[in-house]
Amino acid sequence: MPDEALIIYRANIMNTSIQLLNNFASLENFGHSLRASAYVIKPKCAEEISEAFQLAKKNGLSITARGAGRSYNDASLNGGGIVLDMSGMNKIINWDSATGQVRAEPGVTIQQLWQSVEPEGWWPPVVSGTMFTTLGGCLSANVHGKNNFKVGTIGEHVLEFTAILPTGAEVTCSPQKNADLFYSMISGLGMLGVFTSVTMQMKRVYSGLLEVDARPAHNFHEHLTDLLDNAPNYDYIVGWLDTTAGGKSLGRGQIHAARYLNEGEDKDAKNTMLLKNQTLPSRIFGVFPKSILHYFMSPFVNNLGTWGVNTGKYIASLPHHTFRESHAAFHFLLDYIPNWELSFGRGGLIEYQSFVPKETAEAAWSEMLRLSHKRGMPPYLGVTKRHRPDQFLLTHAVDGFSLAIDFKVTNGNREKLSAMLQDFDKIVLNAGGRFYFVKNSETAPESAKRFLGEDTIAKFKKLKKRCDPNGMLESDLYRRVFGEF
């Protein structure tokens, strides 16, 4: 059969565009612990997003946008439906180095963004722990950085965005214009519309370096007190938590607090702001390629190995010290070891992040960690941060702290781990805490209902009906958590 005839024949077989049939792809979450196949369409412009909505409607398929696919769970998966791969819309439309305002397409990554603005003395006001996320994804999840207590989430630095709704309407939103959509589409998990451009304000910096204080915390109380009391004196603060230590040392770890350098403090600012001085080294000791490091880590990603690594790291963190470090090196810790998540083996990893008010956090997390030790499933990595509340509709923030912990998933531990996380949920909810939808993969609808509150859910449902009357925008996350509401 000649090619053309073959194409027509195939199109007829599926009774739809050829694109659907041959764009079936198997997609994963970031932790490689979840997989769902979908028809992937890669739009290049806003019109092609509209076309995708038409195609979805015609074929009775649901649709969801996917940025870099870096969320730890099912936020960018849509099994059996259409997934819009937004990485094709990755142009920085306009960058004004005089005002620090940038307008970009939603597929632009944090990496592209900082690399565009940094050499001219600017830095994105909020960045995630990895630079591979996209702006669209960051807005949908309303991500925070290590400066959440000071500057809020990424949404607070968005001046304006444009989006396409499933109704076909194109909207422009800002805190003044269409404010209800502005505060709900940011944090809305991509369930109200698809971003087509984002305008953001960058932050002026006077050096490519940050001044970092590193000091140990000997127990949970010291750990959280440090975050609480010292945060106001810094621009960034983050804690590493030794998840394996118990007894009196429970919650011990290391605090990294950093501040921007003022004008004149860095005599060599022009040089430190050059991109070549901002990149993460690709080799260790100049010889060992990091890209294969995860193979050598995997033997340690078990209870004993993690205990050894955590204890070693804690001992190394005991001396106080102050040093200067590039922005990229300080922020993108997760990118230090490429594909580190692969070291968790075939079952992948899951992350559990809870946000708990400052008054109840210590008791709640102490109980959680003790429970994990008692059941023989200590988390392998723990990170704490200081937070403040914000006014976005599906917010995860509280006036308190967050604790993110990672678990390895194996065929043998799924049931036990699932039961433990349900117990964790109870502890967190009883402490007045909240969860982060793009990290926690097991949050039950009832838990979400409890921390979001009936009012918020009613508001969201109303907006959803207005923006998406046919209910076309659905991700696996949406069906899992919001499906029953």
Partner 1 sequence: MSVQKPFLPPATPLKPRLRGLIIGASSGMGAALARRLAREGYTLALIARRADLLDSLCKEINQAYEETRVLNYAHDVSNYDEVPDLLRRIVSDLGGLDTVIFAAGVNYPPILAKDNFDTDRQMLEVNLIGAFAWLNPIADMFQSAGRGQIVGISSVAGDRGRVGNAGYNTSKAGLTTYLEALRNRLTRHGVNVLTIKPGFVQTEMLKAAVGPTPFAIPVEKAANDIYKAMRARKQQIYTPWFWKWIMLIIRNIPSVIFRKMNF
**Does 187 engage in binding with partner 1 (CB under 8 A)?**
no
Among 34, 46, 154, 171, binds partner 1 (CB under 8 A): 34
CB 432 within 8 A of CB 345: no
d(C-alpha 399, C-alpha 396), whole Å: 10
**Does 80 engage in binding with partner 1 (CB under 8 A)?**
yes
Residue 66's closest CA among 43, 86, 91, 39? 86
Among 16, 87, 97, 167, binds partner 1 (CB under 8 A): 16
Region 451-470 residues binding partner 1, contact defined as CB under 8 A:
470
d(C-alpha 417, C-alpha 407), whole Å: 9
Binding window for partner 1 (CB under 8 A); candidates: 56-64, 264-272, 285-293, 393-401? 56-64
In the bound state with partner 1, the residue whose beta carbon lies nearer, of 152 and 348, is 348
Strands (E) across 42-192 are located at 63-66, 82-85, 92-96, 101-104, 122-123, 158-164, 170-173
**Does 31 engage in binding with partner 1 (CB under 8 A)?**
yes
Binding window for partner 1 (CB under 8 A); candidates: 52-60, 303-311, 380-388, 451-459? 52-60
Q: Kindly state the smallest distance separating residue 477's Cβ from partner 1, in Å.
A: 9
Please, which residues have CB within 8 angstroms of residue 158's CB and are 6 or more apart in sequence?
139, 174, 182, 186, 198, 199, 200
Element (H, E) at 137: helix 135-141
Using only the alpha carbons of the chain, give its radius of gyration.
23
Residue 64's closest CA among 36, 92, 91, 90? 36
Region 198-257 residues binding partner 1, contact defined as CB under 8 A:
none
Binding window for partner 1 (CB under 8 A); candidates: 45-53, 78-86, 220-228, 301-309? 78-86
State how far the alpha carbon of 466 is from the alpha carbons of 168, 169, 452, 470, in Å.
12, 11, 20, 10
Q: Kindly state the smallest distance separating residue 242's Cβ from partner 1, in Å.
A: 25
Region 146-185 residues binding partner 1, contact defined as CB under 8 A:
none
**Does 364 engage in binding with partner 1 (CB under 8 A)?**
no
- Residue 103 has φ and ψ, to the nearest 5°, of -120, 125
Q: Kindly state the smallest distance separating residue 20's Cβ from partner 1, in Å.
A: 8
Q: Kindly state the smallest distance separating residue 46's Cβ from partner 1, in Å.
A: 22
Cα diameter, the chain? 75
Taking residue 431's Cβ as centre, other Cβ atoms within 10 Å add up to 21
In the bound state with partner 1, the residue whose beta carbon lies nearer, of 463 and 481, is 481
**Does 476 engage in binding with partner 1 (CB under 8 A)?**
yes
| Tokens matching residue 55 | 């195609």
Which residues of this protein are in contact with partner 1, per CB under 8 A? Answer: 10, 13-16, 20-26, 29, 31, 33-38, 56-62, 73-74, 79-81, 347-348, 350, 409, 414-415, 417-418, 421, 441-442, 470-472, 474, 476, 479-480, 483-484
